Amino acid sequence: MVRLRCNWHYVPEEIRYRACVAIPKKDRDRAEYLRDELIRHDSLYFGQDAPQISDAEYDQLKRELIQIEEKYPELASSDSPTLSVGGVVAATFDPVTHRIPMTSLDNAMDESELLAWGERMARSLPGERLQFVCELKIDGLALSIRYEAGKLSQAATRGDGVTGEDVTANVRTINGVPKELPSGAPAVFEVRGEVYMSIAAFEKLRDQKLRENELRVAEGKKPDSVPVNPRNAGAGSLRQKNAQVTAERDLSFWAYQLGEVVGGGDDQFHHQTLDTLRGFGFPVNPAIERVDGIDAVIAYCQKWQEQRHDLPYEIDGVVVKIDDLAQRERLGFTSRAPRWAIAFKFPPEEKNTILNDIQVSIGRTGRATPFAVLEPVFVGGSTVSMATLHNREQVRLKDVRPGDTVVVRKAGDVIPEVVGPVLALRKKGAKQWDFPDFCPCPLNTPLVQADGEADTRCVEPSCPYQRDQRIIHFASRGGMDIEGLGEKTVFALTDAGFVSDFSDLYSLTVEQLLQLDGFAEISATNLVAAISSSKSRPLPKLLTALGVKHLGPTASDSLARAFGSLNAIMNASVEELSSIDGIGEIVATSITNWFAVESNRAIIEKLRDAGVDFGQVIIRDAPQVLKGKAVVVSGTLTRWNRVEAEEAIKDRGGKSPGSVSAKTFALVVGAEPGASKLTKATELKVPILDEDGFAYLLETGELPKQ
């Protein structure tokens, strides 16, 4: 049978039925299942702010249904979720009909799909210059705000694209949204944008919920659910029945489009529209760029995929739009989205999976850390089968249980974590997890939680798990950076009795390594050579590698600069150590306590005998013109690399933190600086210097004269 290629909504039912009979039953059943699932998840996500699957899993279901409907148009229906925006209208708020529908966007899941879209634009507009506006895709809630006679008259969510929810009272509480427009504004001015919750506001809300759960648990009550990400927290905050609650949640807004405009709207390009929005006092994202050609679009997407974690809010992609509004008019719309825009989606950083078990690991300081054993899931660019649960209190307050469906997050190089359970999918009878009383090591010693501490620790110094982790830390990249000495090799060395502490590494021989599985002559020789070469690591690396509690890379660097040698640091008093900038009394006490332990002193002497460089006294010739001043460096400089620039600041007595704050003396920018640092510096009126200004600052300690 030849299938008809036409609009099946107007084909007689009998003919459509006969055509559908020829479609394999498994495809018909699958399409029906997908439609039902998408409608259900739309209701959970948009209507209740309580999703049961991740965005990536939802996109996968929708794309599968689109493929089936394209293959079998007979299965398509006018109410298919593939033709809708996706939202639903909750009964909590009054409905609002959008004068101009709020459409969704088609997605490009990788660069090849984005390139294909660009080629379609070029074919549709042959011979015409194509300019695109690239905008960060904010992970928030789409919003329409209507002004009449210059005053805010109505605000509504996108809803299903045609009808949204009236959230006017709640939107009036958002500081970034103007309540009144300046004179000269059009009679009707509808602004569209995204309401979102910043990462700082989200963490504040989450911490508040965890504190409330502490009280609930103490009273014997069940803990409430804790928001798992800023998007859900922001959407839930906007939909509060009590506008005062919304006001307390510190929501933000970016404007990115116009809807209905009466008595104005003469812009010819989208970038002019954005300028109009700025002129009327609306916040417009500073990272928006106008570029020529699809190659520049791809470069923009690559840049922000790499820098997405530099921002103070969450993004999940880039929205690309044709800049010329006349070209947009000619391109038009499909049944569900504009042809002139597309959303490039970044790889997902959150996925749902099954929590199979909760176990405990023991760190180098004896800290007992619960971790999740997961059904393997691909997220954040790699397959994750284990994730941190931080400490016993977090497990209790988040109320995650073995067997739960949980949200797993992996952002960039950050350790994967379980952010919370999907309570709606919890199986009946799921038992609360109890923290173990004893260390899982062979010694089986009691675990102790000191008063006032969140951490639970194994306090047995001879615990073999602590020993192994101390050696692993010593050899890590942040420590002595011994290439080829990973966890498995450390476990094999200690099991064989070749190494009992990290100083024993320097007496290892090729012959010993050849007795271990996986080693041949070349690999054994290379590892011994790598261990030997680590003897000359700088003093800050050695200090960090020792694994002293509270002593990290920054404090180690400050100590090395101040004292110049390990011997001087070992013999310094708490008062002398704590007088160094960045070394408080807690860190100083921890250092002196560590060196006071006889076994630790013995390890130091073994390192000395092995020829490990303990450092020489450093005499700094540079004038201390930046003492007490914090100078942040961002972007690529031509005269200094990042390390050299930070060293130059520190050599002159200054600090070089990684972020801008009210205490920042100046921000030095090179090529492609971080947008969040620039934005923060502008907001706080922190001086921004180029390379010439930086050179002047290093020489004089003063800002160059304007």
What is the DSSP annotation of 525-586?
Answer: HHHHHHHHHGGG--HHHHHHHTT-TT--HHHHHHHHHHH-SHHHHHT--HHHHHTSTT--HH
What is the pLDDT, as a whole number, of residue 689?
93
The pLDDT of residue 412: 64
Task: Tell me 102's DSSP state.
Answer: -
pLDDT classification of 14: cutoffs 50, 70, 90: very low
> Quick one: pLDDT at residue 48?
63
Tell whether the torsion through CA atoms of 680, 685, 691 and 695 is positive or negative.
negative
Within 8 A by CB and 6+ apart from 645, the residues are 633, 637, 656, 668, 694
* Average pLDDT value for residue range 143-147: 96
Q: Which domains does the chain have, with CATH numbers?
A: 8-83 (1.10.287.610), 103-345 (3.30.470.30), 350-456 (2.40.50.140), 461-536 (1.10.150.20), 539-609 (1.10.150.20), 630-700 (3.40.50.10190)
**pLDDT for the residue 415:** 82
From CA 228, how far away is CA 524, in angstroms rounded? 46
DSSP helix/strand/coil, 79: coil
- Whether the pLDDT of residue 309 is over 50: the answer is yes
354: β partners: 405
**In 3-state terms, what secondary structure has residue 167?**
coil
Q: Residue 216: what pLDDT?
A: 86
**What pLDDT does residue 92 have?**
66
pLDDT of residue 36: 83
Check if 137 is active-site. yes
Reported as half-sphere exposure (CB side, CA atoms, 13 A), residue 585 has a value of 1
What is the rounded average pLDDT of the residues 331-357? 90
Amino acid 494: pLDDT = 96
pLDDT for the residue numbered 6:
37
Residue 673: pLDDT over 90: no
Alpha helices in 46-103 (DSSP H): 55-71
Which stretch, 20-24, 236-240, 281-285, 392-396, has highest mean pLDDT? 281-285
Q: Is the pLDDT of residue 619 over 60?
A: no
CA 321 from centre of chain: 25
| % residues pLDDT > 70 (the chain) | 93
Tell me how far the alpha carbon of residue 434 is from its chain's centroid. 30
Taking 50 as the threshold, does the pLDDT of residue 74 lie above it?
yes
pTM: 0.60
Contact 301, 134 (CB under 8 A): yes
* pLDDT above 70: residue 353: yes
For residue 209, CA distances in Å to 45, 265, 406 come to: 21, 44, 18
Q: What is the mean pLDDT of residues 371-390?
A: 88
Helices (H), 125-242: 168-171, 199-218, 230-238
Q: What is the pLDDT of residue 534?
A: 96
Q: What is the structure's pLDDT at 19?
A: 47
Q: Which two tokens stand for residue 550?
A: 């509270």
- Residue by residue, DSSP assigns 574-585 as HHHHHTSTT--H
Banded pLDDT at 675 (limits 50, 70, 90): confident
Q: Strands across the sheet with 315-322, in order?
A: 107-108, 341-345, 315-322, 131-138, 289-292
Q: Which of 1-10, 538-547, 683-692 has the lowest mean pLDDT?
A: 1-10
Does the pLDDT value for residue 18 go beyond 50?
no
Mean pLDDT value of segment 18-42 = 77
Strands 405-409 vs 350-362: parallel, antiparallel or unpaired = antiparallel
Measured distance CA(217)–CA(222) in Å, rounded: 6
pLDDT, position 606: 97
Give the lowest-confidence range in 68-82, 230-244, 455-469. 68-82
pLDDT of residue 10: 42
Residue among 26, 71, 137, 209 flagged as catalytic: 137
Alpha-carbon distance values, 17 to 7, 82, 218 (Å)? 14, 21, 62
The whole-number average pLDDT for the span 188-214 is: 91
What is d(CA 161, CA 338) in angstroms, rounded to the nearest whole number?
Answer: 13
Report how many helices (DSSP H) and strands (DSSP E) the chain contains, helices first.
25, 21
Mean pLDDT over the full length of the chain? 88
In the three-class reduction of DSSP (H, G, I as helix; E, B as strand; rest coil), residue 267 is classed as: coil
Q: What is the CA radius of gyration of the chain?
A: 30
Tell me the pLDDT band of 72, cut-offs 50, 70 and 90: confident
pLDDT at residue 7, as a whole number? 40
